[in-house]
Amino acid sequence: MKLAIALKENDYNSSVDERFGRAPFFIIIDSDTKEFEIIENEAKDEATGAGLKAVKNLLKYEIDTIIAGEIGPKAGELIYDLEIPTFKFKDLEKVDEIVKAFNENTLEKYNLSPKPMGLRKA
């Protein structure tokens, strides 16, 4: 599984960044082999729509899953439409512990549905 995680620095041991769209870097890491690539977030300095552009850029790397601190509403809607599983890293700060938690199925999944829960058309 290819995971995308926002990083503060261009370093495997960097702390993760809460800001998905504004994070300086992303690590694309295989959850099984631990092979990884760190890429610059080309969207980080966008005036608006940084999250949307970040998602579109990550698609080039054939990611399977996003693990993030915060997801903005526009990026969340696109991620939802693309059906990309997205999880919260909560208080975890390092790539190793996030990948371990992902492999152990202990991360909480984001509910990015644009519709309030429980409302249905009659």
Considering the segment(s) 2-109 as one domain, its CATH architecture is 2-Layer Sandwich (3.30)
Q: Say if residue 77 is exposed, middle or buried (CB neighbours under 10 Å; 0-12, 13-18, 19+).
A: middle
Residue 30: per-residue pLDDT: 97
- Bridge-partner residues for 36, per DSSP? 29
This prediction has a pTM of: 0.89
- Per run of 10 residues, the mean pLDDT along the chain (length 122 residues) is 97 95 97 96 93 96 95 92 94 96 96 64 46
Look at residue 57 and give its three-state secondary structure.
Answer: helix
pLDDT digits (tens, 9 = 90+) for 2-22: 999 999 999 999 999 999 999
Average pLDDT, the chain: 92
